[in-house]
Every structure is written in C-alpha cells, then in structure tokens.
A and B are shown apart, each in its own frame.
Chain A
Amino acid sequence: MSRRKTERLLGLVVCLLSSERYLTAAQIRDAVPGYPDSFDAFKRMFERDKEELRELGIPLETGANSAVEEEAGYRIPRQAYVLPEIRLEPDEAAVLALAARVWRQAELAGAAAGALLKLRAAGIDAEETMQPGIEPRLRAGEAAFGRLWEAVRDRRPVAFDYRAAGRSEAQRRHLEPWGVVNRHGRWYVAGHDSGREAVRVFRLSRVEGPVEFSGPAGSVTVPEGADVRETVRQWDAHPPPQRSAVLRVRRGAGHGIRRYASSEQPDSGGWDLVQAPFSDVGWFAEHIASFGTDVIALEPADLREAVMTQLKGALA
C-alpha cells in the first residue's frame, strides 16, 4: 500500500473514531486529506476504503444522527472498536506466547502474530524470554484448511472433490461443515453431507482441487449437541481386537509384534510362540509381512493365507 493511502486510511480511522456523531461522506471528505476533488472519484475511493477497514475488523457503523436527517453517515463507536481491558500475570503471558507458537508453521501464523501484537499494544509483555519445557507445533496443513476454516467460521456450506480411500476417482461432495479437527497431527472436517443426507468425516489431505463456497454465510446450522471431536474420533477409531493369532517369532526379533502380545513362550530352534490380539485380518497380515522372515503366522488359517498372499504380492 502506498504511503499516501496508509495516511488516508489512518486519517479516516482517527476521524471516525473521534466523532460521536455520524459523519456524512461530504464531511469526511472535508476532514480527511488525500481524497480527490471530483465527488464521483471520491465516492469510489471511499467505498474501497470502507471495505478495507471492515476487512481489518474495524467496526464501521452506518446511521443517522436523527430521524429528520436524510443522508446516512458513518462512525466507529469506540466501545465496539477497543479491545477490552485485559491484564495477565507473568505466567499467563508466558503461556500465551507459547500458544501463539503453535501456529508458527501453520495457516493461522499471521493471525496469531497479529493477536499477540494487539495484546502487547494493550500493555501485556508476552515475551518469549523463558526457555519453555515444551514446544507445541502444528504443521502447515493441507491446502484445503484455509477455505474450510473460513466456511466453519462463517457457517457456509462448501463443495469439493474428494478421493475416498481406495477410490481411483474423486467425487464431488457437498458439505455443511460443523468443525475442523486435528487428530494425531492430521486434519479432518466433519459435518452434514447434504448429498448423502448423513454426518460425514473427510480427511483434508484427500480433498482435491479448490474448496468452493456453495451458499451464503450464516446458512449452516450446527445441531445442538453436535460433538465434532467425538465424531472424528469414532470415524478414525480401530475396532477393538476380537480375535487372537498364534505366531512364530524369531528370538530377539519381532519387537513390534511382541509389544502387543498377550503371551510369549519359547518354541524349538530359536523361535518363540507368541499370541497376539487383532481385529482386521488385512491390516494385521500386512503388519506381519513387514517383518519378513522374522514372523510366521500359524493361526488362524485366514490370517495365514492373507500373509502368504501379501508376500506373493511383494514377490511379483
């Protein structure tokens, strides 16, 4: 932004903030330096300036000072503009600085820094002088995060192409988003899928191409009691192990299997017999195959078959 424009916008803010009365466009043009003489050119520039101030979160009000005044005016009510008084103890300021660091490499980094700046401007010393015992970070997430956060924030429905696990083609999905969740480092969005007429969870990394708004702000209603975090947890949860496998595990190896074993006993020839619980044959067969010659599935038969198929696949 040019220096002249910055000066003009700053003057506009000070002018509207200082006045208790609504000021008409003409009064504003007279008071704030930097506007062109032609009224039409002024009006166009003033419209853009108002938009910029609103984008910064500055509460620009339109109204009239009395019922008889015909022309609407503008003002920035101080009450709505200022950050309310906030005082933080040193330990509170320290955790606040730490919280801002969470986003340092992620989408809301600018917002976190901006918030910290305003709080410092309110007199809070949120300095990062201490050596914290903990460093929390969110990674710069998937490209879809920014748009989906805006949609959730503004309660707008969205549409996007989504490639579900194991699908070769992406499908168009229409969603009323209720919330975004980061679970174990991965981002999800949950809400009402209006095409499927059901609650659905989507992984942001599987969204392809841009997320588009498909309705106006405020048109999504999050049902009372909707627990997005729990919805995602259930979607992501593994079923509890219901079956038990008997495995032959080479002594001194297969620690990744032994960690979850229910029993271990020595077998002949440098091997151990290990019992391990599992739920999904496919997943467990892949896991066993990854140990190569160190783990042999003995029982049940379908698991044994699945491991052999898996190994044949790696051989082909």
Chain B
Amino acid sequence: MSSPKAPSRRPPRPGHSTDRLQRLLALVPYVISRKVVGLAETATTFGISERELVDDLNLLWCVELRAPDPYCPIDLSYEGGEIVVSQAESMDRPLRLGVDEASALLVGLRMLAEVAHAAAEPGPADRSALSRTIAKLEAAAGEAAAPSAQVTIQVDQVAERAVLATVTDALGHGRRLHLSYYVPGRDEATERDVDPMRLLVVEGRTYLEGWCRRAEAVRLFRLDRVLGIDVLEVAAEVPADAKPVDVDQGLFRPSAGDLHVVIDLSVYGRWVAEYYPCENVTELGDGRLRVTLRTPDGGWVRRLALRLGENGRIVEPVDLAAAVRRDAAAALAQYSEVPDRGQPVAEG
C-alpha cells in the first residue's frame, strides 16, 4: 500500500527478516499509549496494508507460553476498526533506541540546528525547539547517543548568512523577494522577482525554492550565487498549481531535449565525476575516465572544457568539441593583440 501520510517508512530491504518482529514489538506499545486507535491510521503509520496489520494483530493475540502454566500474555481486539490492547504484560513499552537509530535522528537534528543557527531569528526551524528536542532525545537514548557525535554535517559558508536571514525573513512574513542572481552556465547576472516557497538544504548546499515571476515557473536558487537580495513590500503570491520540486527524485533531472556529452578525462580531470552527476563513468586505465553527462546547457559544457584544458577532451557531440577549439583559439589570439605588461605585481 502506498500512502502519502507515511513517507518516512523504512524502504524495502529484502533479506532483513527481523523487520516484522521489530514492528510487532512497536505495535503493542503504540496502541497502549493511545488507549484506542483506528486500524487504518495504524496501518498508515507502520507503512503496511490493513490486511497485513490484521495479520500482525492475530499473530500477537496467538502468542502463547506453555510453562510453568500455559497462558496468553497478550489480549487485544480490533472490532469495528478500532484496536484496543487490554493486556500486554511486559510488552507495554517500546524497545530502547539502537545506536544507529539514535544517531540518525541526532545527526539530523544537529544539521537542522546548524541551518537554524546560520539564519537569524525567526529561523527556518525553531532553534529552541531543536535544542529542547536534542536534549530530550539524548537523555532517552542514553549510551546509544554517544557515537552520533562522531558524525558531523557542515552546511555552506558563513558568507551566505545575510542572504539566508533575508530569505527566512521573507518566508516567515510571506513577502516577495527581488534577487540579483548569478547564472554560471551563461555567465550572466540576472534580475528577477521571486515568491519564496521553501528552503532546501541538499548535499550541503542551501537553495531557495520559489515561484520565479520572470520564468513563470518554480525555480531553485543557490544561495551562494545570490549577488543581491531585497525583501519587497509586496505579499508573495505563489500560484496554487505551483508544484514543489520532489527533493527525493533529485534536484536536477535530465530532460528529453538535453545534450548527451561524452568527455575523456585525465587523472587530473577526474574531479568532474565527483562534482557533477554523471550518467556513466568508465575507467580507461592509468586513472583516466570517460564520463557521460546530460545537460540542457551547451555553454556550460564549453566553459567546463576550457577549464579542463588538456585534462578533458569532448568526444561527443563533435560540433561542441569543435566549438571549444574555436573558443580556445580566439581567446589565445587575444594574447598576441594585448601585449604582456611584463611587470609583476608585488605580492602581499
């Protein structure tokens, strides 16, 4: 069963056979702590179908211990779609958090706290709620909380704090923003009005997601590329049908019209495979790589090839490879027109 209300459920992991046992151990206290709870709601929370849930409940009800005297430790009912557990003995509380579980939540909370700390109040997530939650979770997790300190997530640079503060301010007050925004692919500084929707923090970069009134579409703006930002005295108006980016599908997805670019990289050009999402990466030996990239932006590829110089060679498309050679030749020709001034600038 798929349900929009249970997005954080465990992804299917074939081979992890104890998943059901974990679920059963959580199910009893889940019901007990709520006294009575609906079948449908519970199935959604646990990410299973109602049929599977009923099967779980039957299994719990059937648990039997035979010695010293036979008895059934768990008694429950689910008549009329409502679950009630009337007897559960020692199973009335959930199992403590494991190290991985405590770490996953604590590292996530600390990452949020870092973003909240970088932005001025009112932050994108309440700073005091974060520190209270971290303290309570650390207390509940006990020893299991300690290893989480060995994982740290560091987000963006301090230089963008002013931009981040302005964006969260506009988000908080529902105001339109004016952005001066740098587009590296075209080497352009663009001006546009944006109605802010959300902040995204993905792969350590912070983005503003908003309705761009120039493009009349939802756009993402990397905060470290914002050249100037102003909150306007206008209320933000995000169209009702503006569709937020599905972060879990990846921020940038190739589209049908994209260029299909194949580049051969020397050992000094391998960083390309680390920095950009490549469709295909093949080792060519001696540390050389062949990568395939998809991009709508031929200008960006030309700049990348010029940056790589002898460490990257466009294999496909051939006309783009020819364009790079023309760019390089024209740029080089300018050096014979402008004489070398010959005077080194003093260091310091």
B-contacting residues of A (Cβ < 8 Å)? 1, 3, 5-7, 9-11, 13-15, 17-18, 27, 30-33, 52, 55-58, 78, 80-89, 91-92, 94-105, 108-123, 127-128, 132-139, 149, 152-153, 163, 165-169, 178-186, 203, 205-206, 222, 228-229, 232-233, 242-246, 248, 253-256, 259, 286-287, 289-294, 296, 298-302, 304, 307-316
Contact = CB atoms under 8 A, between A and B. Distances in A.
A121 B33 contact: yes
Contact of A182 (B153, B199, B304): B153
B86 interface: no
B119 to A, nearest CB: 9
A153 B150 contact: yes
A103 B8 CA distance: 9
Interface residues of B, number: 134
Contact of A256 (B115, B136, B187): B187
B132 A92 contact: yes
Nearest to B6: A128
B263 interface: no
A315 B329 contact: yes
B147 A153 contact: yes
B56 to A, nearest CB: 9
Interface of B: 5, 7-11, 13, 16-18, 20-30, 33-34, 45-46, 59-60, 62-68, 73-74, 89-91, 93-105, 107-109, 111-112, 115, 124-126, 129-130, 132-133, 136-137, 139-140, 142, 147, 149-156, 168, 171-172, 182, 184, 187-189, 198-205, 227, 247-248, 267-268, 270-271, 274, 286-287, 302-311, 324-325, 327-332, 334-335, 338, 340-345, 347-348
A179 B10 CA distance: 26
Interface of B is mostly: helix
Contact of B345 (A10, A99, A246): A246
B271 A165 contact: yes
Given A3-B59, A99-B109, A121-B27, A83 B97 contact: yes
Contact of A10 (B21, B98, B184, B311): B21
B129 A95 contact: yes
Contacts of B93: 81-83, 122
Given A30-B66, A56-B95, A298-B338, A114 B10 contact: yes
A10 B8 contact: no
Contacts of B24: 6, 10
Nearest to B9: A113
B302 to A, nearest CB: 7
